[in-house]
A and B are shown apart, each in its own frame.
Chain A
């Protein structure tokens, strides 16, 4: 009792000190994130937005970005969910190595990703060359190249978020499913997948966001056809900040609204009935 009393006398007690300091730091950080984007919009006139929106190249670049990011997200889901499931549900030797490999794209500079991908998917690459010979599919200067570049840099988000989602599914529910006569596939599709869906969808939303914003890996692999970030860079080189910032604002409006919509759709919902469950 005397110890706490003397402590209170020695250091004056500010119950709100920590909260205030942290709130200030947080406000600074949030302003740092939001201010540049807000300023980008504030500096645009309706006329300049309308001008770039009318340019066919701008429109096709934005469409290519959206389509390629969507295709990438689908690939990431199809290939990433099985890996996420294995990481969530099984133990195997070398698992830490597999986990490190999944995170590897996060550590590689994106221009390096583009160059490395050229060695595999380029015209003389070990996959690119035979694939072009057999099927005519090219990864250099095509939409397929854009997808490959986007997939490489965004797949960690899909796998890691899906893994967390699948780990959250109670294994007893899967066991009950088996005893009720459902095989492994049926249990995965009817129990595990729907219950882990929120994590998986969150991961896919991140994958989409990461894909559509990718520049470095894409530009090395595929300058033409241009994705929106590449076109913005191209406009910047040709005519400075004017048109490029207008297109940037336009593109950002589209991606941000998709981002916000997905946050809203996959938000943690309190189901009626589950609030007091545990």
Chain B
């Protein structure tokens, strides 16, 4: 299989009062770009423009170096995943997949229908109509159908938004596994921060038709470019690290030379992870608590303080950036000021890991 690559440059399109402005990105095979934005930010319009349903006013879309800006959707070889996956209700699972195969351009390297059904583990559903399939089965059938047409890019338009939280988590994991192995770049649109964290190699925060910030998940969450991005993504600390030890259900994560402990569901050794810590789970003190059961204690320097409603938001540097919320009382007692030294502690159970 060829490794595909998609580049979008200076994409602009005005539709009524709304406009996409100067959208640009590159996604390579095995990469997932998550476009994160509130509804009305223009995410769906952008995806449908990339897919060829709208002709941009300006800009260029190229796939594997070939300019497809003027090509109709059927000539682009893009696998488009709608919410709930939009399987053809009048066709069986096998016929759904065969639909993609039938129109695949000759000479493409897509697998035959039977092999695709088997690869995605849905061969037992071949004769069923999509109506009563579960969310997971629909996802697998839709992926098989898209693969049958030998796609060079996957576009996902909030495919999991209609599902309950638990199903969503497991389908997200499955999708991520799938996209890791497919040699096809993916652009995934969502309004859900957790979804972005779980899937993204790169996150683009979209606002009013353009990208406000593009970067790694930790960069977006820890160093938002402006207040609007910050308030949209929330103030959770997101740190990239690698699991270096697992014992008794506690994982040890190396983060920029500092060790962080996390309890709960622990990925295996050497997994790259995102460690997420909510600001209300960070406790601050003057001195280290020697007799404490809290596993994570870091000497930290106060970088910034700001009033946030009834609380104070404290930005710390403890080898990695960390955000804490403290009450006004603690704020005064600890005498927190920029440059001040404190000890930040976080329970291992409060560190939430997302495997990458």
| A interface list, Cβ under 8 A from B | 170, 172-173, 175-183, 186, 190-191, 194-195, 271-277
Contact = CB atoms under 8 A, between A and B. Distances in A.
Contacts of A175: 48, 51, 53, 73, 80, 82, 86
B146 interface: yes
B279 interface: no
B74 A181 contact: yes
A194 B149 contact: no
B320 interface: no
A232 B296 CA distance: 97
B131 A179 contact: no
A181 B146 CA distance: 10
A172 B74 contact: no
Contacts of A275: 131-132
20 contacts: A173-B86, A173-B89, A175-B51, A175-B53, A175-B80, A176-B80, A176-B88, A178-B72, A180-B100, A180-B146, A180-B149, A181-B74, A181-B102, A181-B105, A181-B149, A182-B103, A183-B72, A271-B131, A273-B132, A277-B131
B99 A274 contact: no
**Interface extent on B, as a size class?**
20 to 34
A252 B323 CA distance: 83
Contacts of B132: 273-277
Interface string B52-93: 110000000000000000001111111110100010111000
Interface in B248-303: none
A181 B103 contact: yes
Interface of B: 48, 51-53, 72-80, 82, 86, 88-90, 99-100, 102-105, 128-132, 145-146, 148-149
A274 B130 CA distance: 8
B89 A179 contact: no
Contact of B74 (A179, A272, A277): A179
B79 A182 contact: no
Contact of A194 (B51, B72, B80, B90): B90
A277 B132 CA distance: 6
Given A172-B86, A181-B77, A182-B103, 13 more contacts: A175-B53, A177-B99, A178-B74, A179-B51, A179-B79, A181-B105, A182-B74, A183-B74, A271-B129, A272-B131, A273-B132, A274-B131, A276-B131
A195 B132 CA distance: 17
A173 B74 contact: no
Given A175-B82, A274-B131, A195 B149 contact: no
A213 B224 CA distance: 73
Across the A-B interface, the 4 shortest Cβ-Cβ residue pairs: A181-B103, A274-B131, A273-B131, A178-B73
B88 A179 contact: no
Nearest to B129: A273
Contacts of A176: 80, 82, 86, 88
Most interface-central of B53, B73, B82 (chain A CB within 10 A): B73
Nearest to A195: B90
Contacts of A271: 129, 131
A72 B345 CA distance: 82
Contact of A182 (B51, B82, B99): B99
B39 to A, nearest CB: 17
A186 B131 contact: no
A176 B53 CA distance: 11
